Structure 1
């Protein structure tokens, strides 16, 4: 799929990997809807960077864990750009809790992480699916994590939520075929704001990097765009981790 002239929704698109994806998609010629929940200033800055380069972009506020807000967001995007061709389910949250501190993994933590990291991805996919099916083509990339395959990460609920994202990807690939491709990119350690001030912990979680470098958001963004373009692949969980899990 040629990304030029396509319409893309990037959830959590104003910061970190989401911002890098938004900018990369715009560079490929796509119109980009930059979703945000609370990071309005960052989303608007991302949109400004795109439009300054001659691209098309809007910022759209919605809590991806709320179905009504998600549906209204997608309707606004379609009203502005005509349709939705691409979805990058990037919006995710975490809590930094030692894996062995089970008491700290409270019900509130579980509910919050699952609402955004899992249910939110489903709600966004469901909302854009009718537009993609009408066009007889579409592509979705969910952001997973190697935490979902190794069981280690910033917290136990986060790792389990990302394992659920991997399962959601496979189920959606079946449910939305043949018109819509659904894949998952599972990064290892990435230098984003979630690790600001916790760089030592990040390096402890990623001690065996064969490539001896922590990935940057731009690394993941370029790969996500490649996955969106690939028309012969669906239901795949693809690891991008500098050799961390080999």
Structure 2
């Protein structure tokens, strides 16, 4: 029986991040920082954005020095088209291409209510802020990066949340915004196919600085998880990098939550 052969018009995709160009939004802290450092360790050249965390952005740049790739911080509000364009142009200038966009930037403004049931706490201004960053910002970054990602046959990885699956989270608008981001990931996978692959990681509780001083909540989440150890930012970063190399996967939501939602 004759053996199947590869199509001459479909070259074997590269299974490496070395020498690739990437953007990570919200890369100064938490999952974003871990992703920047994991990409740099793999030899990628990363431009990452920050909004207010200037000191943390400098720390991330410092941590990235001396590794296989490189990282450069740029202050960019994902609600501002000019800032997004500058970020994309910087990334393309670095390597002459853009291979990966990680939409990690998100906000969850504090609200006085401790319960999702206090609807009066969720003002129009709060809704506008959360949706503008967490959903429209991700779309705007994908739109700006799309021509370059298409040329490179690259990937988009969005960072969602189990709040978008369960409806339970830091606030009602946040949970809704993550559900919308999950839907955006599926829609973008269709809109950008076949050149660009789009997926979404869906973390549960991840031990970041956001939880410092809230050990009661940490313990409550730990008891609800199947695994004894909380998910680390590095665990999510590893999954993001793996998805960037999965050429047979698009339009999928990949949950990493220690078994919280089983």
Q: Post-superposition shift, 1:205? A: 4.9
Which whole-Å CA distance do the structure 2 matches of 1:155 and 1:206 have between them? 20
Q: Post-superposition shift, 1:28? A: 0.8
| Structure 2 gap segments, 5+ residues each | 1-14
User: Is this contact kept in 1: 2:134–2:181, CA < 8 A?
Assistant: yes
Q: Post-superposition shift, 1:95? A: 2.8
1:225 paired residue among 241, 249, 253: 241
What TM-score do the two structures reach when normalised by structure 1? Answer: 0.95
Q: Post-superposition shift, 1:174? A: 0.2
- Aligned CA-pair RMSD: 1.4
Q: Are 1:9 and 2:26 matched, yes or no?
A: no
| Structure 1 gap segments, 5+ residues each | none
Q: Which residue of 1 aligns with 2:67?
A: 53
1:122 paired residue among 125, 139, 154: 139
* SS class of match (2:22): strand
Q: Are 1:183 and 2:162 matched, yes or no?
A: no
Q: Which residue of 1 aligns with 2:10?
A: none
Larger radius of gyration: 2
User: Is this contact kept in 1: 2:20–2:95, CA < 8 A?
Assistant: no
Which whole-Å CA distance do the structure 2 matches of 1:94 and 1:149 have between them? 16
User: Is this contact kept in 2: 1:93–1:116, CA < 8 A?
Assistant: yes
Q: Which residue of 1 aligns with 2:158?
A: 142
Q: Are 1:157 and 2:187 matched, yes or no?
A: no
Q: Count how many residue pairs are aligned between Structure 1 and Structure 2.
A: 245
Counterparts of 1:19-168 in structure 2, within 5 Å, are 19-97=33-111, 98-135=115-152, 137-168=153-184
1:180 and 1:56, CA in 2 relative to 1: closer, same or farther beyond 3 A? same
* SS class of match (2:46): strand
User: Is this contact kept in 2: 1:153–1:205, CA < 8 A?
Assistant: no
- Mean alpha-carbon deviation: is it higher for 81-90 or for 198-207? 198-207
1:96 and 1:207, CA in 2 relative to 1: closer, same or farther beyond 3 A? farther
1:37 and 1:199, CA in 2 relative to 1: closer, same or farther beyond 3 A? same
1:104 and 1:205, CA in 2 relative to 1: closer, same or farther beyond 3 A? farther
User: Is this contact kept in 2: 1:34–1:47, CA < 8 A?
Assistant: no
User: Is this contact kept in 1: 2:46–2:91, CA < 8 A?
Assistant: no
Q: Post-superposition shift, 1:138? A: 0.5
Which whole-Å CA distance do the structure 2 matches of 1:167 and 1:212 have between them? 31
1:120 and 1:129, CA in 2 relative to 1: closer, same or farther beyond 3 A? same
